[in-house]
Chains A and B, each alone.
Chain A
Amino acid sequence: MPHDHSDHPHALLPPEPALRVKALETILRDKGLIDPAALEEIIDTYQNKIGPQNGARVVAKAWLDDDFRAALMQDATSVVRDLGFYGRQGEHMVVVENTPDQHNMVVCTLCSCYPWPLLGIPPGWYKSDAYRASAVREPRKVLAEFGVILPKGTAVRVWDSTAEVRYLVLPMRPQGTEGMDEDALAALVTRDSMIGTGLARQPEGGAS
């Protein structure tokens, strides 16, 4: 129900868990264990600076440059670090490449491990029990929920992320994208295509 906030005699009370987080911050700050400026910077980074656009950049480069792709498949951690995308938790990045024979899909059955530097904060469904439980057990059914129907001959491989290893799917380059530059290609790379629950977009007016 809409209401006019100016009617409030006092400041709007945040939800209970928000007050508990504020309490933790206050206690840790008073003990000198946290730096409020560093906290703000982390929030800004995750809210505004990192997201699927980083991963899309990596995928577009791999589509355009065979040497880059080979290096990426060999040692993704150092290749993406060179682009300025590195794991703050010291994890290793592994890129798994989709082919006509194998479609790759990423999950974290443990909790929600995810390549933060390349994709940002995971979407709600990635963190849900339903996805975490069913991705491994019945990946084709989950893919169908996302509208992805693979050819019968394509195997599905599910990669389970951990605290130490995070996976990024390198989707197949769509047909009809010859001659497109990196920016145009990156625009076709969706977040879901890099988790493996989607495919890269078809270019407008391209083959479908």
Chain B
Amino acid sequence: MDCPSLPDFTAATGLEEPAFTEPWHAQVLALTVHLNEAGQFTWAEWVNRFSTVLRQHGAERSLNGGEDYFNAWLATLEAFLSDRGMASAAQVEHTRAAWEEAYLTTPHGAPVTLKQV
């Protein structure tokens, strides 16, 4: 196995960098923590699934720990919720499309809300 080249670690060693680079990274982490705290799954169950997905995603290319890390996180949560019957893939796609439609049809500056779907 090739040794992956090390990223420039020193570029990001300050205390000042933001915890999350994208709002949705914070949202998906908070959602997971909330479901854990609400007793939907243990953290060990989460780590077990998440590490498996990270391994799968990392098999094709070296993950940089940024966007691709949270993509793996989201994929883990979606699969978990689907397996538990809490949110099926079809439901998620239907609701995602509804949100997209809501953004595209809401005038700029107005609050975006979802019509009943």
Contacts and interface: CB of A to CB of B under 8 A. Distances in A.
B22 A125 contact: no
A43 B27 contact: yes
A124 to B, nearest CB: 4
Given A24-B92, A51-B19, A134-B6, A42 B103 contact: no
A128 interface: yes
Nearest to B100: A19
A46 B34 contact: no
Given A10-B108, A27-B87, A110 B64 contact: no
A105 to B, nearest CB: 12
A53 B11 CA distance: 20
B56 interface: no
A145 B27 CA distance: 32
A128 B33 contact: no
A102 interface: no
B37 interface: yes
A104 interface: no
B34 A34 contact: yes
Nearest to B88: A27
A195 B96 CA distance: 38
A21 B7 CA distance: 29
A85 B80 CA distance: 29
Contacts of B12: 123-125
B9 A145 contact: yes
A18 B24 contact: yes
B7 A130 contact: yes
Interface string A186-200: 000011100001100
Nearest 9 interchain pairs by C-beta: A128-B65, A127-B65, A18-B24, A23-B95, A89-B43, A163-B47, A42-B30, A23-B96, A124-B65
8 contacts: A10-B105, A19-B103, A24-B31, A27-B95, A28-B87, A120-B19, A128-B62, A128-B69
Interface of B: 3-7, 9-10, 12-13, 15, 17-24, 26-31, 33-38, 40, 43-44, 46-48, 50-51, 54, 58, 62-66, 69-71, 74, 77-78, 81, 86-87, 91-93, 95-96, 98-100, 103-110, 112, 114
